[in-house]
A and B are shown apart, each in its own frame.
Chain A
Amino acid sequence: MTETSLEARREILSSIREHLAESKRFDTQDVHPPTTARRTTSKSVAGDRDKPVIELFRHALEAVSGHCSIVRTIDEAAQAVQEIVAERKASGPPATAGGSDSHSRRVAVSDSALVRAILGRVKTEAAFLDSPSQAELFDCDVGITCAQWAIAETGTLVLESERERNRLASLVPPVHVAIIEASRIRRSMSEVLELIKKSDVGLSRAVTFITGPSRTSDIELTLAIGVHGPGELHVIVIDEAAPPA
C-alpha cells in the first residue's frame, strides 16, 4: 500500500468513527420509521416443498430458457453430448468472431475427470481442446464443463474454480453444456452457499452462479439471448435412479 493509500485508510476510518459518534445523539430520536405497516414473513414456495429436487431444477431451468436432459449413465450422457454437438453443426455457421475457415466443430472442455470420461465415449469428428489459448477459445463452438452444485429453486448452476478449469469454457463459446450428478442438486441457495464456503478445497477464487443463457434487454427493453456469454445452455443431469427414457 502506498503512503497516500495508508493515509486515506486512516482518514476514512476515522471519518466513519467520528460521524457514527456524532449520530449517537440522534439515535434514540424518532426518525420517521418506514410506514409500511404490513409485515410478511419470508415464505418459501409452498407447493414446491414436496417436489423432488431434480424435477424442481428442470422446471426452473426451463423457465429461464435453459435445456435440461436427465440421463442414467455416463454412456447416455455421452449420447446427449454427441447430439448437442451434432445439432450445432447443422445449425449453420458459428457465431464466433473473425469468420475463421470452415473447420470441423471445436469444443472447449474443462479438465474434470467426469467430462473426460464422457468425452471418451463420444463419437464425433469434432476437435476437443482441453486447454485452449485465448485465441482458440474465441473460435470454439461449444464449451463443456461440469457444475459442482445446482440450486433447484432457481435452476442455477454453481461452478467452483478450485474443482476444475471451468471459468472460460462455460462463458466464451456460444453453446455451454454443463454436466452434473443428481446428488449435487440442492433445493436452496442458502444450502449451496454453506457448501461452497466449507468446501474441502477451500472457498474457490472464483465461484460462478449461472442461471440460463446470457441475456440483455438494453435495447428498448426487448429480450435478446446470447449477448456476451452463451446463447444456449444445456444441462445434462446424471441420475442413476431415473426411469429409463
Chain B
Amino acid sequence: MRDQARAIKDETLAHLDRYLEQFAGNAERAGARIHWARDGREVSNIIIELLHERNAKRVVKSKSMATEEIHLNDALEEAGIETVETDLGEWIIQLAHETPSHIVVPAIHKSKKQIADLFVEKIGIEPTDDVDKLTGAARRVLRQRFAEADAGISGVNFGVAETGTILILENEGNIRLTTSLPKIHFALMGIEKVIPRFADIDVFLKLLPRSGTGQQLTTYQSLITGQKKRPEDEGPEELHIILMDNGRSRMLAHPVTRQSLACIRCGACLNACPVYQQIGGHAYGSVYPGPIGAVITPQLIGISKATQLPYASSLCGACREVCPVKIDIPALLLHLRSEIVEGSASGSVDEQGPVKRKFSEHLAFRLYAFAWSRRRLYEWSARIARLFQRAAVRQGRIGKVSGLIAKLAPPLGAWTAGRDARPIAPRTFREQWRADSEIK
C-alpha cells in the first residue's frame, strides 16, 4: 500500500505540469474558477480582491496548513476582513493568539484547564473541566459565525486530475459547513496535491487517516467537483480553487528534494520523532514543525533563512519508518546539511545562493577531524584540555556559577546561554579501562 501510494505520487510529480493542467481544465469544465499564484502574497491578493468585489466581510476558515504557511489570516485582517477559524483546535489557538504546535492536533500544547480559562475569559462560559461542555460551548459560538459568514476558506488534501475534484478530509464537520453554507468557497491547494485518477482516492483514503489519527477512515470526506448547476441546489454559488507554488516547483530539481512534495501532511513523523516529543512544535520556529517541517521549511523559505532546522534531528530514522509515502527524511536532512556546508554547487534549492562557511570554522573542523581520527593525538588532546580547564573548573562545573547554569566568558558564552558546559572527566574511560585491566 505504501509503495503504491509513493508510486502514484512519484508518477504525478514526474509529470506535474501535465496533471496540473488536466486538473485545472476539468475543474473549470465543472464550473470551478481556477487561479494560479506564485507565492503567498498573490494568494492573499486574489482572495482579498474577490472578497472586496463581492462586498464580503466575514469569513469562516477550516484548518489548512497551506493558509498557515502564507499567514493568510494576517493579510485578511489587514484588509479589514474578519476571519474565524472553525476547527476546534485552530479556534482555541486563534482565541489565545498563538500558532499551531502540531499539524493535525494544533492545540496539543494546551491543557484542558488552560482552554477552560480561555473560554471563561473570551466567550464567557461558566468554569468547567468537562471536555464535552467545552466542545458544546465552541459549537454554539461557532454556529453563529457560520450563519453570518459571507465566504468560506478551506485547504485541499487531494485534487483529482481526471475529474477536477477536490477532496478534503476531517472529523469535526466544520469543513462541510465551511464548504456548503457560505455563498463563496475558496479552496487553497498546493500544486503538489494533485493525484491522477479518481480511483487513486482509495489508496490515499486508506493511508492518510491511519497515519494521521489512527482511524480507519476520518468521519467525513467531501469530494467537491465544481459548483452547483441549478439555483435551487445546495452549496456555494462560487467555487474558487487557488493553485499555489510558493517554492514548491523548485523542489522538483533533484530526486532527493522532490520527495518532500509526496508528503500528505499526516503528522505521523511528528508523533514518532524523539526530538519533537522533547521540544514540542513551537521550538522549530517554523509553520511546519517536526521532521517534515525540518526538511520542507528550508526549501520553502530559502535554506539560508533556516540553516538550523536540518540539524534539529538525531537522524534516528523513526520518521522514515512511519511515513505512509516512504519519504526518506534522514536522506533529505543530510542532503540539506550538505547544501548548507558545501554551498549548493548543483541543483540549487535555494535561490539566494550557497551559504558561505567561515574559513576559521572550516579550519577548526579540519583540525578536529585530523586529530580525533588518530588515537595518540586524541589522547593527547584530552590531556591538554584537562590541563587547561583546571583554571576554569569550579564546583565540578566550568565557568562562573550563577543561578542554575555556569556561564562561560564570551565568545563561548553563547553555548552556555541555556545549559552547563560539563568539564572533561579527570580520567578518560580508556584510562580507567587500562587501569582496571592491570589490576586483574
Contact = CB atoms under 8 A, between A and B. Distances in A.
Interface of A: 1-2, 4-6, 8-9, 11-13, 15-17, 19-20, 22-23, 26-27, 29, 31-36, 39, 42, 60, 64, 95-97, 134-135, 138, 154, 156, 161, 165, 167-168, 171-172, 188-190, 193-194, 197, 203-222, 224-230
A209 B228 CA distance: 18
A212 B217 CA distance: 10
Contacts of A190: 199, 202
B4 A42 contact: yes
Interface centre among B1, B253, B320 (most CB of A within 10 A): B253
9 contacts: A12-B36, A22-B252, A23-B258, A35-B328, A156-B217, A161-B235, A206-B223, A209-B223, A219-B134
Interface centre among B1, B213, B254 (most CB of A within 10 A): B254
A200 to B, nearest CB: 16
Contacts of B357: none
Chain B residues touching A, range: 35 or more
Contacts of A135: 147
Interface stretch (B75-83, B138-146, B274-282, B388-396): B138-146
A194 B134 CA distance: 41
B92 to A, nearest CB: 7
B347 A227 contact: no
Contact of B347 (A26, A197, A225): A26
A203 B163 contact: yes
Given A6-B36, A12-B191, 17 more contacts: A1-B36, A5-B46, A9-B36, A13-B17, A13-B21, A42-B1, A42-B4, A167-B180, A205-B30, A205-B224, A206-B223, A209-B217, A209-B221, A209-B222, A211-B216, A227-B174, A229-B220
A135 B143 CA distance: 11
Contacts of A194: 199
B107 interface: yes
Nearest to B134: A219
A228 B142 contact: yes
A235 to B, nearest CB: 14
B85 to A, nearest CB: 11
Nearest to B93: A218
A32 B331 CA distance: 7
B37 interface: yes
A203 B198 CA distance: 11
A112 to B, nearest CB: 13
Interface in B17-74: 17, 20-21, 30-31, 33-38, 42, 45-46
Interface stretch (B108-116, B358-366, B403-411): B108-116
A97 B144 contact: yes
Contacts of A42: 1, 4
B135 A168 contact: no
B17 A216 contact: no
Contacts of B89: 216, 218-219
Contacts of B176: 167, 171, 208, 228-229
